[in-house]
Amino acid sequence: MKSKNYRWWHAVVFYATVQAASVALKVIAGRLANRREPESRREDREFYRTERLPFFAPPAAAFPIAWTINSVSAIAGGLHVLNLPPDTEGRREFLRLQAVAWTLFSTFQAGYFGLRSPINAALITVAYTSVTAASLVVALQRLKDPAAAVSLASTAAWLVLATPLGVTQAAWNYDPFWNTGPWTEPRKHWLKNRSMADTTQLA
């Protein structure tokens, strides 16, 4: 029986490191945007709520819950693949793709909340979706490992919602970091908060 080289506490250390990097990058981004004090989670949620959002946008409180589930599942899958024999077909490709995914994950708060940029959020989300899709293809076609694929199922399901959300949010709102937008005006019935339809956002 193969002995495992990576255990649960490696996963805990990894997740803590990713979260610390995410917070640190957000603080740095906020300072680059000339905000002396880092924004609180409540202020981040308020920023999200005041954006013009599509009717299918989830409430702000849903994001930390969803991403906790997604992260725990993805890390469990990563740990599983790490413990496969090193010469397993597709193992290296899967791990490389997940390394890119976690790098993107750690930059999201900085790109979106730190810099107050819906365009950055959309770009990171689209890239993350592409990497997740590629990881699923490798898990199913190269690794032929259902457990690795299932570990990304909740993330893939969430991204089906998050990707069009990010794109529409970038298109409908002014981006102070890039000093541009909105690119298009949404129809009132597409908006989550229909009173926002009467709000003119100027660059």
The domains of the chain, with CATH numbers, are: 8-198 (1.20.1260)
50 vs 26, 37, 64, 197, 199, CA distance in Å?
Answer: 20, 20, 18, 12, 10
CB atoms under 10 Å from CB of 199, counted, come to 11
Residues 142, 67, 121: CA angle, nearest 5 degrees: 90
CB atoms under 10 Å from CB of 4, counted, come to 12
In this prediction, residue 48 carries a pLDDT of: 94
In this prediction, residue 69 carries a pLDDT of: 97
Global pTM value:
0.90
In this prediction, residue 34 carries a pLDDT of: 75
30-76 tens-digit pLDDT: 888 776 666 677 888 999 999 999 999 999 999 999 999 999 999 99
Among candidates 188, 195, 1, which has minimal Cα distance to 85? 1
Distance of CA 116 to the CA centre of its chain: 15
Among candidates 198, 178, 194, 202, which has minimal Cα distance to 53? 194
Q: Return mean pLDDT, the chain.
A: 91
93 neighbors 198 (Cβ within 8 angstroms): no
